[in-house]
Structure 1
Amino acid sequence: MPARKATEADAGLLLAWRNDPRTRQASRSTGVITLEEHSAWLRGVLASPDRELYVVEFDDVPVGTVRFDREDEGVWEVSITLAPESRGHGLSGAVLAEGERAVTASHPVRVVVAAVHRDNAASAALFDRAGYAETAPAVDGFRKLRKTVS
């Protein structure tokens, strides 16, 4: 289940996953995103040295995406989205692990943090299984989690 860097050719796929109602419900920004907004965002992400965006595939089929945003030297925030049709198949742990492997192979990462919506039990369980621990009380409905990777 390899992770590959996302490209502009992934725009339509990533937008469909982002605009899925369950994805929006768990996101910081819950509105529907237009293709124009998404394309501009994606170009910015792909051009930034402080962001990494990966598409993870299983049997050559994209099943999820993992984004990392540099918060500080050695500290990256992770965001994960599974394709709607990939949910419920036990793939989230492998998708997250592949993303972590990819970013740590490309950058000196000491800590990975995550913000998980307090109502997103599946995501909370994923990060718990992956070794993340809560670091602070929820703010604006999001729990802050942390994992030391080196």
Structure 2
Amino acid sequence: MTPPAVTARDATEADAELLLSWRNDPRTREASRSTGVIALADHQRWLHGVLADRDRMLLVVEQDAAPVGTVRFDHEGAGEWEVSITLAPRSRGRGLSRIVLAEGERILAQRRGAVAVLAAVHPDNAASGALFERSGYREGAPAGNGFRRLRKTLG
């Protein structure tokens, strides 16, 4: 079976409400560092800052022109970037997470010459842990703030 094709595009300010709805989804919040509900005005300020920051990259990943997830990368220095991935609630359970992650990694390597990607995973989030491990991430640093730290070398 051929995996579903996806494409990534840069997020824009017009994506604010869509991204906020995914971020405020209860399952997304459970796995996040910040678990509270975010207000639209706060999210818009955050999004504006992310889009203006050269050390961050926020992509919306689409399948058949419909948004299915988002991948954000934050530069950590020395060619390393931390990844954050969110699937649209309606996209869960369809085998898309690994494809969405791989597309984000491809764009990151192409545009920014990234050497490695780091992932912070809540220990109770078995699905995310399995996603990153299946995608080639390995324990790379001591856990921090209650999160596992996984690392993948690109290339």
Cα separation, 1, equivalents of 2:143 and 2:125: 13
C-alpha deviations, 1:96-131, integer Å up to 9, x for none? Answer: 001001111110110100000000011001001100
Of 28, 39, 43 in structure 2, the residue corresponding to residue 34 of structure 1 is 39
Q: Supply the AA of the counterpart residue of 2:50.
A: V
Q: Supply the AA of the counterpart residue of 1:27.
A: S
Q: Supply the AA of the counterpart residue of 1:115.
A: A
Q: Report percent identity of matched pairs.
A: 67
Q: Supply the AA of the counterpart residue of 2:129.
A: A
**Is 2:92 the partner of 1:63?**
no
Cα separation, 1, equivalents of 2:145 and 2:74: 20
**Is 2:119 the partner of 1:114?**
yes
Q: Supply the AA of the counterpart residue of 1:40.
A: R
1:138 CA drift (Å): 2.8
- Correspondence list, 1:68-83, <5 A: 68-83=73-88
Cα separation, 1, equivalents of 2:144 and 2:112: 28
> Which residue number in structure 1 is paired with residue 147 of structure 2?
142
1:137 CA drift (Å): 3.9
Q: Which runs of 5+ in 2 are unaligned?
A: 1-5
Q: Which runs of 5+ in 1 are unaligned?
A: none
**Is 2:20 the partner of 1:11?**
no
C-alpha deviations, 1:46-85, integer Å up to 9, x for none? Answer: 0000000000001111000000000003110000000011
Where do 4+ consecutive residues of structure 1 move more than 6 Å?
none
- Normalising by structure 2, we get a TM-score of 0.94
- Correspondence list, 1:74-93, <5 A: 74-93=79-98
Aligned residues between the structures: 150
Q: Supply the AA of the counterpart residue of 2:103.
A: E
Of 85, 97, 100 in structure 1, the residue corresponding to residue 102 of structure 2 is 97
Q: What do you get for the CA RMSD once the two structures are aligned? A: 0.8
